[in-house]
Amino acid sequence: MIKIWNPFPLKYGFISFFYTIYVYKPLNKLPEQHSNLEIDNQPTMSSFYFLGIGGTAMASVAVALSHAGHAISGSDTQLYPPMSSYLDDHNIRYFNGFSETNLLSASPDFVVVGNAISRGNPELEYALIHHFELLSMPDLVRRHLIGKNTSIVVAGTHGKTTTTSLVAWLLEHGGLKPGFLVGGIPENFSIGCRASGRSGEGFFVTEGDEYDTAFFDKRSKFLLYRPDIAIINNIEFDHADIFDSLEDIKRSFRLFVNLIPGNGTLLVNGDDKVALEIASRAFCRVERFGMTTESEWSACNITTDSEASTFELLYLGAFQGIFRVPLFGNHNIMNALAAIAAATHTGLSLEAIMRAMPLFKRPKRRMEIVGTYPRNITLVEDFAHHPTAIRVTLEALGELYAGRRIVTCFEPRSNTTTRNIFQQELAECFNPASIVVMGKVHRPERYAPEKSLNTRRLKTELEQQGKIVFLAGENSANYPSDIVEFLHPILKEGDVVVLLSNGSFGNLKNLLTESFQKNS
């Protein structure tokens, strides 16, 4: 067994967290009377108002601060499960819709502005006029949750949520009580964010998103997270609403890598040329993970059953042990390699990591099995919306459910997939699917027809591949029930129905579940 270099010596200790139910401040407190409290290590409770609280990260941070004893409220539109349920379960009061009266009634010390909030929002305008203290969510996380802890940041176009969840779980199982922020709900914790159990001396694991920070701060979020141990899973073009090109994205990743201190570590996908290019400029230790022994960390002899994947772990080409993790597909093996490498740099032994991995639970909406219904029809939900993510997810499901028909429902919803940037790539990523249901393009009015995704062209190209294709939403009043009506007569024994969207897909999951149960 090798000894992994570890620049961060372990110290053990625990602190208790007491859950404090949210209490509103008196309604007669005027905006100009807001306190000017420092939020770093402050001894007294503060009130935070989350403007855009329905975002996955925003809601998770809000709950974490509530658990730490702060008063939390917020507002948003179009709140849907799992985030609306998550806020309800943790007694976070929120307003549906934006109105300056919401801020007036909450009277917070700080307004945390989500990156989806822009000028013209009535609450933001009110906050600016009355000089509320504004914070971005990443800045709040850096100052109040990461603080002096060793910061582990997971970045890359794909795989961030799963990898971050797995790193946090490995550290948790190893007794390190890490803090974490995950862009989803990790099932091992049932919360998306919490403070470190050893404030200032522990570890904080953050999903490092390259998306921008706030209307007043256009930096990528991960540039605020001060990485000591960083992971770059992969780098592709995405987020066409804020990045003009792959080169533009690479610029943000270069800045991210430049933040890692000399005694830190960068773990990089050794099979991704763009990620390796970015890593070549690092001023810290660099280790690669990949599917060949050219990388320091690699996997071989991968096998899969209905419950998990098993692989042999190699370090510098030498066998380290057999690992088993309830994830599927080579992309998830890569995620597991990155998590193992990161965990060793916290001081955990490979034996401890090996014991923890089979107990990992996938985050919600990451190849989440919603249920199995009469005629052995299985419903799966996944967050995939980028062509690469769609392809690897469907390939993994095709391997997991070998011999069964894959029925894919995809909602073009992101700012990139609603445009024609990935027109050709989307025609090539559904190969494992026999049936493709194309959901309605989200907010098509944002782009001119010549710049929008052409779903009719996509349908023709997929049909030329021998697939059955249905374009949903042509009658908006019946959407997405028209998907249920299309699928009901066409589904066969053993079909696997996969929902792919970074949004709610019009509550399609619940509509299908009700349909399957009703027609049993």
Average pLDDT of 99-103? 94
pLDDT of residue 32: 31
Average pLDDT of 418-426? 87
Residue whose pair of structure tokens reads 């909406």 in the numeric block: 365
Average pLDDT of 84-96? 90
Rounded-to-integer distance, Cα 226 and Cα 139, Å: 11
- Buried-exposed string 116-142: b where 16+ CB fall within 10 A, e elsewhere: bbeeebebbebbeeeebbbbbbbbbbb
Question: 520: pLDDT confidence band, cut at 50, 70 and 90?
Answer: low
For 495-517, write each residue's pLDDT tens digit: 999 999 988 888 899 899 988 88
Residue range(s) occupied by CATH 3.40.1190.10 in the chain? 147-359
Of residues 382 and 22, which shows the higher confidence score? 382
Question: 475: pLDDT confidence band, cut at 50, 70 and 90?
Answer: confident
Percent of the chain with pLDDT over 70: 91
Of residues 7 and 289, which shows the higher confidence score? 289
* Max avg pLDDT among 53-67, 300-314, 341-355: 341-355
Class in CATH terms, 368-518: alpha beta
Query: Residue 216 pLDDT more than 90?
Result: yes
Residue range(s) occupied by CATH 3.40.50.720 in the chain? 31-136
Domain 31-136, classified CATH 3.40.50.720, yes or no: yes
Average pLDDT of 76-101? 87
pLDDT of residue 415: 78
pLDDT of residue 44: 58
Question: Does the model's pTM come out above 0.85?
Answer: no
Query: Residue 27 pLDDT more than 60?
Result: no
| Lowest model confidence (mean pLDDT) among 11-25, 163-177, 262-276, 467-481 | 11-25
Question: 203: pLDDT confidence band, cut at 50, 70 and 90?
Answer: very high
Query: Residue 10 pLDDT more than 60?
Result: no
DSSP codes joined into one string, 326-384: S--SHHHHHHHHHHHHHHHTTT--HHHHHHHGGG--PPTTSSEEEEEEGGGEEEEEE--
Class in CATH terms, 147-359: alpha beta
DSSP codes joined into one string, 33-80: G------SS-SS--EEEEETTTSHHHHHHHHHHHHTT-EEEEEESS--
Query: Residue 11 pLDDT more than 60?
Result: no
Query: Residue 274 pLDDT more than 50?
Result: yes
For 320-338, write each residue's pLDDT tens digit: 999 999 998 898 999 999 9
Query: Residue 12 pLDDT more than 50?
Result: no
